[in-house]
Amino acid sequence: MNSLSKIQVLMWCLLLLVIGAFFLNILLLIPAALLFVLQFFVARSDLKKDYPEDWSKYLSIFLFYELAIIFMTQFVFRVAFTSLSISSFYTMFMAVLVVIIVTIALKYLIGRRSCYGTILFVSGEWAGVAIKTDLFSKVSEADYAVRNSLGIKLKKGDRVRIRLKGTFNRSVPYEVSEVVR
């Protein structure tokens, strides 16, 4: 299991505990807080090793969403469900709408047209590159054949930046742009 998957599993567990704390018992926030701290340590070790350029961005995005979920379930939704008035449901709807708008805005703001990979082999104008899943550039984990049309001297094991082309939901690596030191 890669480091992003570990973080996502911890996020889902945290989400279930926070929702359980809302509906069942507020004491479920204690193990949720422990998962929150564990997630931070996994990010500092595994995520930093797998994504040296972007681990702090990943950590900040995950922490933002978790804090938003905790805030919404424990404060906004609790107020909406206790008073059961039209204005409280309006507040709950607006909170959900704000999270959706922020999510879409973050896709545009932190999305990028390049990703990082490791050279597996070089053959003339082509190179084989191993790329890990990258949420910011919307690339799936796989080995890709990319062009080296800039004539950069590459060797096996080099960490490189790769240009992407694609759509809003998915990008495809196509060219090596530089060697990252």
pLDDT digits (tens, 9 = 90+) for 17-70: 888 887 888 888 899 889 888 888 888 888 888 887 777 888 888 888 778 877
Report whether 99 contacts 149 (CB < 8 A). Answer: no
Is the same domain home to 16 and 76?
Answer: yes
Assess whether 82 and 119 both reside in one domain: no
Where does a domain end: 82, 110, 138? 110
At 80 the pLDDT is 67
Residue 5: the pLDDT is 81
126/100 same-domain check: no
| Number of separate helices (H) and strands (E) present in the chain | 6, 5
Q: Name every residue whose Cβ is closer than 8 Å to that of residue 65 and which is 6 or more positions away in sequence.
A: 11
User: What is the C-alpha to C-alpha distance for residues 135 and 53, in angstroms, rounded to an integer?
Assistant: 13
Same domain for 126 and 65, yes or no, is no
Q: Is the pLDDT of residue 73 over 90?
A: no
- 161 and 87 in a single domain? The answer is no
Total domains present in the chain:
2
For residue 147 the two structure tokens come to: 């062009």
Are 90 and 162 in a shared domain? no
Q: What is the residue-wise DSSP string for 88-134?
A: HHHHHHHHHHHHHHHHHHHHHHH--SEEEEEEEEEETTEEEEEE--B
Q: Can you give the CATH number for the domain in which 142 is found?
A: 2.40.50.140
Domain housing 172: 114-179
Q: What is the DSSP string of 55-81?
A: HHHHHHHHHHHHHHHHHIIIIIHHHHH
Bridge-based pairing of strands 126-131 and 171-179 is: unpaired
CA distance linking residue 20 with residue 181, whole number of Å: 46
16 and 63 belong to one structural domain: yes
Which tokens belong to 155? Answer: 């060797």
Judge if 11 and 78 occupy the same domain: yes
Q: Which of 31-35, 136-140, 169-173, 177-181 has the highest mean pLDDT?
A: 31-35
Among 110, 127, 152, which residue terminates a domain? 110
Residue 103 is predicted with a pLDDT of: 77
More confident call, 35 vs 112: 35
What pLDDT does 180 receive? 85
Q: Residue 1 burial (CB < 10 Å; 0-12/13-18/19+)?
A: exposed
82 and 23 share a domain?
yes
Domain boundary among 77, 110, 143: 110
Q: Report the range of poorest mean pLDDT among 16-20, 45-49, 106-110, 129-133.
A: 106-110
Average pLDDT over residues 5-22: 84
Rounded distance, CA 9 to CA 7, Å?
6
Q: What is the mean pLDDT of the chain?
A: 82
Given a cut of 90, whether residue 10 has pLDDT beyond it is no
Q: Are residues 98 and 148 in the same domain?
A: no
Do 143 and 75 belong to one domain?
no
